[in-house]
A and B are shown apart, each in its own frame.
Chain A
């Protein structure tokens, strides 16, 4: 990438792989993932932190990749949708999204799944209202909301069952 005269070098881990990359200091984590690392599963819906389509995990917490400068991710551990499951080997939450039809066009889905995975580790209550609140930073214009809640609940309950067993 010889585009900008001014370059910064960062090292970060993405889905378990370590990358040392020269970046334009203006680059967001979202554009780094998509345009440099070709991890296009993470989507850009607004680039302003308003839709949630770009949600990824940085050091185990959900963040909006479009609002995160890549330069601030030096040394970070990043997980994207590509690090969750594959079409051949789905994560249980991905299975649940399919079973409950938690998407239509699928464009918000990576963000929904990354958000939900993080939310399941956050201190939200067990009821639907809590999950709706926890998931309200992720817009789904297709309106899959009730199905998303159903998918998250299925995984939450089975994890709870696992813990209690």
Chain B
């Protein structure tokens, strides 16, 4: 690795920028079949929370000109029953097969699909379907005493959800100060601006799907299973995805429904979810209630930690919001208990949403740390420093690379932490001003990935891998990695991703794509390099030991320089090599190692609160992150801005309300579910320590998509406390929470 690289770490503009800024980048709903136009499909969703469908009245549809077909469970086995959603080949968002039977488990479940010649007719027809139900008792309310409560052992990464070490009660006795409080976080929705969409095109028993998915390979295997076709016959294309944040991670029923409908009507079908559909079709972050107990001695050293999370799951989806996983790992504490329980409710299914567990979990943990610091009369940064550890508390391993203390120092300096005053004491005109901070962290994950590296006769390099760029900058990052290995410019590299026919890679989730492709690209480049050297030797050249450089249409090694057109025989056009890595890190069954891999950071927020109206603004946020080597300074910074913006939304705006009687989400639209807009964000000061983690992969990068959202809501909540002296233990924090008690 060349630390003084001219490519790695540079703020290179996105290689796909020209397509994205001109409307030429095609997202799922922008594709058209090779011939003709697709039929349009609109979902029919259940309006009851529990029961069965007793019939559909379609009489109004039959007379609609342009109406083609209605499909539902009454069509018989359109879709093969999926018994186990995670059979190794794929992970689905829900453990159920769409249209399998007449059962309804939640409001918004897909119970039918209208297919028509135009979107206008499909929409009108879907509204005209009359559904008859037989309703049964539904458990909707979070506290419903009749709801089944489960305590799952493992999260989907294989990590333990029920952790106990030492003796919490003994630790409590040792303590001089104890904080025990309950924090809640609301239902939240991903709301990527691109709604999920699927265009399904059959050609005999071959299926091509243009899908808004964060994982083309996963999608392919799921659809192939459900359609009972060989996965080789299914191709998923997702060259551009309009954001996902988790809701396009695991595959959801609508994709399968679109594929089944296209087969049934023997024509291409385009299904674009409405914004309202997005609230019940592809997951959400469930509501959490977290009871946190922190106990410390007079020096602020933690003597006991307890973090009990209660959340819920649907009847058909097994997502658990793993809020306490961070707590089990982060601070030195020998007496600890972390538990998770879920109530089984007639609600739509949850799923990971940008930093699942970590984001709501650190709101609770880092708020409690702030409360503890206050009780002890300690500076909140000092309290964290005091409990800092170089050992992963879960397993006693050393961190591969951890520079959290430096993050605290840099962050405190950059935000001007020294300006901080006692709660409610800092006034500026009509504003109450406060500073708050929190620790950020996110696991380092890596999954098996293969790549194909190609050199063509022009001397252009090509890299292909079935991963996807959901806005992270992966197109550019891949070009940089290959360019680095061959001493050339990223402009000389063509990147092929977003196609399940390419060598397989992981889905875009868990901030793991960059680390995963890093190892695969490294190996692919090595393989191509070896092939090219062998070819040079065959040609009678003697390449030296210097790295092979491919630039300006020629291959160079030391003094040797041979045009690519000469190296590559005319009859083959290109030389292709494949490489990759089968290693897994961070998940069960991963590589045996004596290290633990995590990214860390510190987030600081300044808030200003209007003394009369209680309006909360965030004039400045500072984030300092230890995320390994940064591959692209420009796109990495952008991801951090995005995560911190997500954090502002989580802290101050976002909440989906559910009606406990009917089980309906009350505000399924961007008009009533508030997300940050341009005027809501101000100054972000982002710094990355940029210290490579070569134990993790050959480019030294760890992920960075999620960590910037972790801790942000706690930093803001703690700043609100510092400004006002009012502790708000639920999200989002609204002016109503402050108005009554604001210091005048």
The yes or no answer to A59 lying at the interface (CB within 8 A) is no
0/1 string, A116-137, CB within 8 A of B gives 1: 0000000000000101110111
Q: Say yes or no: A3 contacts B23, CB within 8 Å.
A: no
User: Which A residues have a C-beta under 8 Å from some C-beta of B?
Assistant: 1-5, 24, 26-27, 31, 34-35, 38-51, 53, 80-82, 84-87, 90, 94, 97-99, 101, 103-110, 113, 129, 131-133, 135-149
Q: Say yes or no: B13 contacts A139, CB within 8 Å.
A: no
Given contacts A26-B124, A51-B670, A106-B20, 16 further A-B contacts (CB under 8 A): A4-B66, A34-B30, A44-B195, A47-B274, A47-B275, A82-B22, A85-B21, A85-B22, A86-B22, A86-B24, A104-B243, A105-B192, A105-B243, A106-B25, A132-B681, A143-B676
Q: Say yes or no: B193 contacts A31, CB within 8 Å.
A: no
Residues on A with C-beta less than 8 A from B634 are 101
CB distance from B187 to the nearest CB of A (A): 17
Q: Say yes or no: A40 contacts B676, CB within 8 Å.
A: no
- For the complex, give the distance between the alpha carbons of A39 and B24 in Å: 9
The yes or no answer to B641 lying at the interface (CB within 8 A) is yes
Q: Say yes or no: A135 contacts B27, CB within 8 Å.
A: no
- For the complex, give the distance between the alpha carbons of A1 and B65 in Å: 11
Q: Say yes or no: B670 contacts A50, CB within 8 Å.
A: yes
12 A-B pairs in the complex with CB atoms less than 8 angstroms apart: A3-B117, A4-B120, A4-B121, A31-B120, A45-B670, A50-B670, A104-B471, A105-B192, A141-B245, A145-B676, A148-B678, A149-B678
0/1 string, B627-648, CB within 8 A of A gives 1: 0000000110111011111100
Could you say which of A97, A141, A149 has the most chain B C-beta atoms within 10 Å of its C-beta?
A141
Closest to A26 in B: B120
CB distance from A80 to the nearest CB of B (A): 7
- For the complex, give the distance between the alpha carbons of A92 and B16 in Å: 17
Residues on A with C-beta less than 8 A from B166 are none
User: Which B residues have a C-beta under 8 Å from some C-beta of A?
Assistant: 13-14, 16-27, 29-30, 32, 37, 40, 65-66, 116-121, 124, 191-195, 240-243, 245, 272, 274-275, 470-473, 634-635, 637-639, 641-646, 669-671, 675-681, 683-684
Closest to B632 in A: A101
- For the complex, give the distance between the alpha carbons of A42 and B25 in Å: 11
Q: Say yes or no: B24 contacts A87, CB within 8 Å.
A: yes
Q: Say yes or no: B18 contacts A98, CB within 8 Å.
A: yes
- For the complex, give the distance between the alpha carbons of A143 and B712 in Å: 14
Closest to B275 in A: A46
Q: Say yes or no: A44 contacts B638, CB within 8 Å.
A: no
Q: Say yes or no: B118 contacts A4, CB within 8 Å.
A: yes
Closest to B194 in A: A107
The listed residue (B193, B646, B681) touching A108 by CB distance below 8 A is B193
Q: Say yes or no: A43 contacts B193, CB within 8 Å.
A: yes
- For the complex, give the distance between the alpha carbons of A38 and B500 in Å: 26
Q: Say yes or no: A24 contacts B118, CB within 8 Å.
A: yes
Q: Say yes or no: B13 contacts A106, CB within 8 Å.
A: no
Q: Say yes or no: B66 contacts A3, CB within 8 Å.
A: yes
Q: Say yes or no: A2 contacts B678, CB within 8 Å.
A: no
Residues on B with C-beta less than 8 A from A5 are 65
Q: Say yes or no: B670 contacts A41, CB within 8 Å.
A: no
CB distance from A42 to the nearest CB of B (A): 7
Q: Say yes or no: B21 contacts A94, CB within 8 Å.
A: yes
Q: Say yes or no: A101 contacts B638, CB within 8 Å.
A: yes
Q: Say yes or no: A31 contacts B119, CB within 8 Å.
A: yes
In the complex with contacts A4-B118, A105-B242, A144-B642 CB distance below 8 A: yes
- For the complex, give the distance between the alpha carbons of A51 and B672 in Å: 12
Q: Say yes or no: A101 contacts B635, CB within 8 Å.
A: yes
Residues on B with C-beta less than 8 A from A51 are 193, 670
CB distance from A157 to the nearest CB of B (A): 18
Q: Say yes or no: B471 contacts A106, CB within 8 Å.
A: yes
Closest to B681 in A: A145
Residues on B with C-beta less than 8 A from A47 are 274-275
CB distance from A113 to the nearest CB of B (A): 6
- For the complex, give the distance between the alpha carbons of A143 and B521 in Å: 29
CB distance from A97 to the nearest CB of B (A): 5
Residues on B with C-beta less than 8 A from A41 are 22-24
Q: Say yes or no: A141 contacts B669, CB within 8 Å.
A: no
Residues on A with C-beta less than 8 A from B193 are 43, 45, 51, 53, 105, 107-108, 139-142
- For the complex, give the distance between the alpha carbons of A139 and B193 in Å: 8
Q: Say yes or no: B23 contacts A144, CB within 8 Å.
A: no
In the complex with contacts A90-B18, A133-B679, A144-B670 CB distance below 8 A: no
- For the complex, give the distance between the alpha carbons of A137 and B243 in Å: 19
Q: Say yes or no: A42 contacts B65, CB within 8 Å.
A: no
The listed residue (B65, B195, B676) touching A4 by CB distance below 8 A is B65
- For the complex, give the distance between the alpha carbons of A149 and B274 in Å: 29
The 8 closest A-B pairs by CB, nearest first: A41-B23, A107-B242, A3-B66, A143-B645, A106-B20, A105-B471, A104-B471, A143-B642
Q: Say yes or no: A105 contacts B18, CB within 8 Å.
A: no
In the complex with contacts A24-B120, A87-B24, A43-B644 CB distance below 8 A: no
Residues on B with C-beta less than 8 A from A84 are 22
Q: Say yes or no: B118 contacts A132, CB within 8 Å.
A: no
The listed residue (B19, B26, B120, B194) touching A105 by CB distance below 8 A is B194
The listed residue (B13, B20, B118, B642) touching A35 by CB distance below 8 A is B118
Q: Say yes or no: B117 contacts A43, CB within 8 Å.
A: no
Residues on B with C-beta less than 8 A from A35 are 37, 40, 118-119
CB distance from A100 to the nearest CB of B (A): 9
Q: Say yes or no: B23 contacts A82, CB within 8 Å.
A: yes
Residues on B with C-beta less than 8 A from A98 are 13-14, 17-18, 21
Residues on B with C-beta less than 8 A from A144 are 638, 641-642
Residues on B with C-beta less than 8 A from A50 are 275, 669-671
The listed residue (B66, B274, B275, B642) touching A142 by CB distance below 8 A is B642
Closest to A107 in B: B242
Residues on A with C-beta less than 8 A from B245 are 141
Closest to B67 in A: A3
